[in-house]
Amino acid sequence: MITAIYPGTYDPVTFGHVDVITRAAGIFDRLVVGVVGEPRHKKPLFSLDERVEFLREALSGLENVEVEVFSELVVDFARRWDAKVIVKGLRVISDFEWEFQMNQLNRTLAADVETVYVMASPSVSFVSSSGVKEIAYFGGDVAELVPPAVAARFKALYPDGRPGTPENPQE
């Protein structure tokens, strides 16, 4: 049985993430979607509980996919699950530059854990969490970019567009 992990902040999960997860679930026996509990390089708009719930709802039809929180090195998370593979999604060339660096660091820490890259499908290759947040903030419709629960939450946060800042939506 081959277990893989797919780590990320998922703030929020998009149809681009769902695309990569669905395709990776067809390759590996078990896929553990790892949600970063406390991202060091960005402050999430959505709470950890919301991010996990959005994922679990969006992925409920995938029997071999689990969603778990982690707050450790990615390679340690992989080892905890006895995973030999880290799945990473790629959309554009600039994604590769960052992922190449992360791959080299991860291989230094855990040479036995391989990274596999899954190219986003063309229909979602332009979708990013930051882009979705920007559209929603200005009152745009994100229903075609994110799962229904995420779109509904954005509507609640920004019913008329820009009620405050994304960091403080009640301003």
42 is catalytic: yes
Question: What sign does the CA torsion over 26, 128, 136, 123 have?
Answer: negative
Say how far apart CA 2 and CA 83 lie, in whole Å. Answer: 7
71 is catalytic: no
129 is catalytic: yes
Query: What's the first-to-final CA gap in the chain, in angstroms?
Result: 50
Of the listed 51, 88, 129, 153, which one is catalytic? 129
84 is catalytic: no
Say how far apart CA 99 and CA 105 lie, in whole Å. Answer: 10
Question: 84 by DSSP, 3-state: which?
Answer: coil
Say how far apart CA 59 and CA 21 lie, in whole Å. Answer: 8
Of the listed 23, 91, 107, 155, which one is catalytic? 91
Q: Which residues are catalytic?
A: 17, 42, 91, 129
